[in-house]
Amino acid sequence: MKMLATGRQAALAAITAAGMILSPAIAHAQRSLEGQQVVLYTSGGTQLETTRELVIKPFEQETGAKVVIDDSCCARLQAAMEARQYVGDVLIGVDRAALMARDDRGFFIHDPRLEEIARERGSPDPLPSKAMVILNLYSYVIAAKNETLPLPRSWIEFWDTQRFPGSRGLNRTVPQVQVEAALLADGVPADKLYPLDVPRALKKLSELRDKTKLILNASGADQINNLGTGETDYAVTYSNRAYLAKRDGIKINFSFADGFIAGNGGAILRGSKNVDGAVALLRYHMRPEVLARFAERTGMSPAYKASADMIEPQYRALMATTPENLQLQHMLNDEYWQKNLTSVAEKWIGWSAQ
């Protein structure tokens, strides 16, 4: 298995091996939050629709709570936290590195129950934390516009415009993975990637831009739209978006080979007016059957094996956490991006504007 560090190798291995132990408190449902309100701060779109159907509505029915949704995440979060303003009780739908960075700024309440939930579910190290719950995993993968094109199986091949001619799609909004991919394409061993040599990566990215048409996608929807219309021949793509496209009959192709796995989850916001309700919502979301159905609907893989095993067989091959796919991938170094996102993003924005 290609890994970036021994600890990360153990983490991925644990995803395939970890089991689940349920406490009586989790197993026994009760309407313990009757009449209470939980404010969820999150993003809108299709993922929120699925969250509303598979998580929020049944959680309300079971607990008696009312979940109020603010889908404006995360434009005003920093300003509100710095001003000590109330934003909501629980934040869901943010990548692990971004959660860690916001935790560093004191945006979250630390609650030991969050770590307990993760360990009870069998979530592997280093994911359990008092500051956050990692619910899902997805990957940055290489995709092709159709199933007849030869598909690059590495970032070296992605950069090879002679064997794989055509335009390339990158992500405009974040430098993550594009920097790592460029360094892998330039011959840096996977276990020597971090700390990232950003100038070297940007130079390699410039080589790609000089050789072929480069399209910078502003969103996951743009990734799929540009592949589906043929505007982009090959692109860095979110695996959950590629999953949805395949499920909906769009004839793109993708592989997890040389992909990068990222975590996504939630946390309790500082100033929460209902910490117990926030914990209860995250606990419900972490149920194995809930995450399995969520994965089938969205392509976001569960963060632990017991849930992944519940996914219907016809969907498993397209999930990031399938054992066969895990062994092809790297783990994104969230600790590096937690500390360096702002500085690298500035360089990335400068390069992309050229």
Which of these, 197, 175, 171, 108, lies nearest to 342 by C-alpha position?
175
For position 75, what pLDDT does the model report?
84
Burial class (CB in 10 A: 0-12, 13-18, 19+), 162: exposed
- Please give the Cα distance from 154 to 140 (Å, whole number): 12
CA-wise closest residue to 175 among 1, 333, 12:
333
DSSP letters spanning 243-298: HHHHHTT---EEEEEEEEEEEEEEEEBTT-S-HHHHHHHHHHHT-HHHHHHHHHHH
Of residues 257, 268, 242, the one with CA closest to residue 102: 268
pTM above 0.85, yes or no: yes
In angstroms, the CA 316 to CA 338 distance is: 30
Domains 6-138+262-331 and 139-258 agree in fold:
yes
What is residue 123's DSSP assignment? P
What angle do the packed helices 220-228 and 239-247 form, to 10 degrees? 50
Per-residue model confidence (pLDDT) at position 46: 83
What contacts 282, CB < 8 A, 6 or more positions away?
A: 90, 92, 114, 117, 133, 135, 266, 268
What pLDDT, on a 0 to 100 scale, did the predictor assign at position 63?
A: 96
CATH of 6-138+262-331, one of 3.40.50.11540, 3.40.190.10, 3.30.160.100, 3.30.930.10: 3.40.190.10
Helix (H) or strand (E) holding 66: strand 66-70
Averages of pLDDT over each 10 residues, the chain, 354 residues = 42 44 43 92 91 97 97 91 95 96 96 98 95 98 96 98 98 95 98 98 98 96 95 97 93 96 97 98 98 97 94 94 93 95 95 92
Domain at 139-258, CATH class: alpha beta
Nearest of 261, 315, 320, 323 to residue 293 by alpha carbon:
315
* CA 320/CA 325 separation, integer angstroms: 6
Q: Structural domain boundaries of the chain?
A: 6-138+262-331, 139-258
- 43: which strand partners? 72
Nearest to 165 by CA among 203, 98, 222, 212: 212
Looking up tokens 């330039």, which residue turns up? Answer: 186
Query: What is residue 131's three-state secondary structure?
Result: coil
Q: What number of residues does the chain have?
A: 354
pLDDT at position 19 is: 39
Question: Do residues 147 and 140 lie in contact, with contact meaning Cβ atoms separated by under 8 Å?
Answer: no
51 touches 152 (CB < 8 A): no
What the block records as the tokens of 11 is 């983490």
Residue 30 pLDDT: 58
